[in-house]
Amino acid sequence: MEKAALLRSISCSTLACNRFFFRSSNRLSRSSASFSSSVSRSHHRSFGTLTRRSVLRRHWRLLPASSIPSTRCFSLLAPKAIATSPEQASPDFVSTEDDFAEKYGFEKVSEQFIQECKSKAVLYKHKKTGAEVMSVSNDDENKVFGVVFRTPPKDSTGIPHILEHSVLCGSRKYPLKEPFVELLKGSLHTFLNAFTYPDRTCYPVASTNTKDFYNLVDVYLDAVFFPKCVEDFQTFQQEGWHYELNNPSEDISYKGVVFNEMKGVYSQPDNILGRTAQQALFPDNTYGVDSGGDPNVIPKLTFEEFKEFHQKYYHPGNARIWFYGDDDPNERLRILSEYLDLFDTSPASRESRVEPQKLFSKPVRIVEKYPAGEGGDLKKKHMVCLNWVLSDKPLDLETELALGFLDHLMLGTPASPLRKILLESGLGEAIVGGGMEDDLLQPQFSIGLKGVSDDDIPKVEELVMTTLKSLAEEGFDSEAVEASMNTIEFSLRENNTGSFPRGLSLMLRSIGKWIYDMDPFEPLKYEKPLMDLKARIAEEGSKAVFSPLIEKYILNNPHCVTVEMQPDPEKASRDEAAEREILKKVKAGMTEEDLAELARATQELRLKQETPDPPEALKSVPGLSLLDIPKEPIHVPTEIGVINDVKVLQHNLFTNDVLYTEIVFDMSSLKQDLLPLVPLFCKQSALLVQIIAQGQNLNHCCSHHLQLILPELNLNFTFLYCFVGSIVLVNFLIVGSQSLMEMGTKELDFVQLNQLIGRKTGGISVYPFTSSVRGKEDPCRHIIVRGKAMTGHAEDLFNLVNCILQEVQFTDQQRFKQFVSQSKARMESRLRGSGHGIAAARMDAKLNTAGWIAEQMGGVSYLEFLQALEKKVDQDWIGISSSLEEIRKSLLSRKGCLINLTSEGKNLTNSEKYVSKFLDLLPSSSPVEKTTWNARLSSENEAILVPTQVNYVGKATNIYDTGYQLKGSAYVISKYISNTWLWDRVRVSGGAYGGFCDFDTYSGVFSFLSYRDPNLLKTLDIYDGTGDFLRQLEMDDDTLTKAIIGTIGDVDSYQLPDAKGYSSLLRYLLGVTEEERRKRREEILSTSLKDFKEFADVIEAAKHKGVVVAVASQDDVDAANKEHPNFFQVKKAL
């Protein structure tokens, strides 16, 4: 949920377009094993993309170790689907289609062919209720459905967010506790989530299997229109809030999934900043409150208010419904009619309209405090951000488009002037603010710095304003404009949304206008406005286009809110004390009978939460059979050849004339003490960018292995699934500054280099990749260079990669110091927001060498290195510069090099000569001998202290040490444990936002983790009970089949061509053969209850020999060590 800055990376072009057309999709979700580092402005059931400012708006439903959305990792680009254009459709066909619409109660409002996505789009209106339906037809097999309600809250009790969680907890046709979880267990979904914006709530699903798709659609329609939660007070308590009292003699506490989720959100400084800014910018409309819920206000919400909100807003007349893909458009209308015909008209659509905020006549200044650790110089931990509402009404498309380009020009790359000047000023450590944001009714712009000295706050404000004035007066150079234009155009033409369904990215773009009663087609059509803007720039010059925008919407705009955030080391303890005092008064006001009744109600709720659904209820959820599952793994064409004595992997796939390449270098010659410098050598926000997570889908993978790669979350990560033998591989393409691309060469300074990359390619990134290798002591350790370009620029691509690798000079001391400061700031932010990632990295580092390497480049050890390095840069720059050169010499060599190419066959052939030339320029061998790394952290239990209101609790062991031999059933079992035992006990009953397990089949490490958890020792007890859970497990054939199908869904995750080529490369690096892939699939498909029972003894190793790492508050760690003396070794991180 952190909005990625558009910095240079392999995915930068995709993101550029995303930022350009959909600059923020702020939402939160309802998932259980979340991994995101910050909850954005939307709230989701699962985890999603993170956006810098979306911290206020987006809440994803946290999916149980198995699913995730992304927040900004999707690019809102048009899908590459093919459909019959209206001109080609026969009159009889059209007539028949209209007859179908009439039959099912719909009238056609408009029909258009969207050339950009080769789709026919038809807007319908349901006659009886007024529900609006967009039906998009094309040949994309990844079908998407979504229903969106306008849900503007009037206070910060979090009603929309709690309701979004709750409607998926059983419905009229599916009367079990959580049909949502049953879908996670046993469907082939490519997307399954829900999320809450400040003014709307979205319920999207996607699948490539038509039968599965319609199953998902039916469950979601029944959930939103006929949920059990409006009649079930206990669901409201579980998902929202309740008083918990186990014994009348004990203290009362607050519990609730959303309550604890939002306590985590309100523990993160960037989130507090974003929420404060939004509410100050919009004091008079719905954006002035928190749709996700303020933990101080959530307990004021009543069940009656909760029910009334659903009755008022969850009506077809207030809904926008979206279908997309290659399924039958008439069947879509038939399915909808079965639900919509049950309703009459409603005033909801009128009552839910969002009123615009009137613009201020003068600026406003806000000063807030945020919880800070006691370490470091607090005087240098201030934050300041300038925020504007740009207009009192929505903007026309031409202006929006121009503002999108302006945003990219000012902030989109490390060379962008506003970004560059702020970071080079030395006034702060990292950028805050999301730039242009237009996902709400009124667009905004925000920019600032964190890590600022209190004395420098006015200087930052002045620098922002003087820089903007200078840009308005002087304009942008032509190379920068050309680079931005190419970046955005490339992204549109490539249409690469990563693992995010293309249809969903289109839906969210369309909804951004449609939800405000504007044209839903307009956001889907970029071609003409883009060409018009290019023509206007060519005719009038860029200054004539952009300077008036800066002046009108920012410099001369009085609707400006400056937010200053001050560090307060006492705030977290004061907040906790205030909560305890409130609860103390609540208890004091109760009689003995009241307390006994509360204790009884607590036990009753827990009993309900821990009691399995009856078999007849479980059977109500539609599912697939094993006959619907392909027996063979997905095949990726791979041809292995040799060019200049270097192996080259080629994948002949349709890519629309885009060439994707990965160049792999061996990292085994690198000295061990240089490891922490590698992320800074590659890029300041890179870590282990490829993550391997076995047997779980995206959410699970990220949850366990995020620690390997996200030291700083001011980045974009695009998720690419690939089944590697028996693993799900998640690829994070990180966007951020980097030494190789931000130091410049003899001929080009770093601005010119970045502009050249933007003009000639779709992006280049460099990052380390490491993993254990099953059956080997030495880990897999490489540096990977990823790049992409139109095939006509293939030569430019390889020339630029060579320039970056061999010609960049490590001579700019001050720029390097900026990288260090930014990395440190982001690592500190990550400690608060992704503590489970920190815990997982730390545990892996205690259990295997690959984990230790990852932790050196992205865990607490890396943060400690950065803290020391920040001072060392001034003391020994020559030594650091020499170390960077030594890293380069150790890596660059044809020996151990590997090239991976993905494109159409003719393009692969044409590219070989450029590959040959590139390889000729590399040294034939490394001057450094291969080294052996065999290090681990000590194995004691450890608590990492941070100022937080929630905890992140991990426990892990290496089950290969018990003699366990890998079987495909392990993937089924670990996913099942996450979706049942841990979901029910850690999340539902325990109140954590997420709980899950992960099995790294390469190292043998089996891990348990929790996310935003109010508990500590109680959660560890749940982990230790997993073996008994498996021994006592009874499972009918239907339940087992669901578990198997759900695992296959993870294994066969939908991939675009570049991801297919990349996953094939990783299989090659990790020694995974096609034979092994088939064997693991057969083992998955033949999993039996006996396998579950046998795994119970294996998992006992975690109970008796596991290492524990928790990222937690001082109070909770002290309480744990009091209950179990010396249980934790304590390390203060902040």
* Closest to 719 (Cα-Cα) out of 696, 698, 689: 698
Helices (H), 80-178: 91-103, 159-166
User: What is the CA angle 842-843-845, rounded to 5?
Assistant: 65
DSSP-assigned letter for residue 416: -
User: Could you tell me the end-to-end alpha-carbon distance of the chain, in angstroms, rounded to an integer?
Assistant: 23
Burial 124-143 (b: 16+ CB within 10 A, else e): bbbebbbbbbbbbbbebbbb
Residue 689 CB neighbours (<10 A): 30
* Closest to 1000 (Cα-Cα) out of 970, 1029, 1023: 970
Burial 172-208 (b: 16+ CB within 10 A, else e): eebebbbbbbbbbbbbbbbbbbbbbbbbbbbbbbbbb
Strand order in the sheet with 728-731: 690-693, 728-731, 721-723
- Which tokens sit at 544? 């004539």
Contact 517, 89 (CB under 8 A): no
Residues 687 and 706: their CA atoms lie apart, in Å, by 10
Residues 703 and 563: their CA atoms lie apart, in Å, by 32
Where residue 495 falls (left for φ over 0; alpha for ψ -120 to 50; beta otherwise) is left
Instruction: Assess whether 164 carries a catalytic annotation.
Output: yes
The residue count of the chain comes to 1134
DSSP-assigned letter for residue 676: G
Beta strands in 581-710 (DSSP E): 639-643, 646-652, 658-666, 690-693
Contact 36, 60 (CB under 8 A): yes
At 1106, give phi and psi (nearest 5°).
-70, 150
- Residue 44: C-alpha distances to residues 30, 40, 221, 238, 647 (Å): 4, 9, 18, 16, 44
Contact 421, 467 (CB under 8 A): yes
Catalytic residue among 164, 489, 942, 1100: 164
Instruction: Assess whether 610 carries a catalytic annotation.
Output: no
Residues 208 and 145: their CA atoms lie apart, in Å, by 12
* Helix 835-847 vs helix 813-833: crossing angle, to nearest 10: 100
Contact 878, 871 (CB under 8 A): no
Q: What is the number of alpha carbons within 13 Å of residue 885 lying toward its C-beta? A: 10
Residues 886 and 1115: their CA atoms lie apart, in Å, by 45
Residues 50 and 879: their CA atoms lie apart, in Å, by 37
Catalytic residue among 132, 239, 437, 904: 239
* Closest to 1046 (Cα-Cα) out of 214, 188, 180, 31: 188
> Which residues carry out catalysis?
164, 239
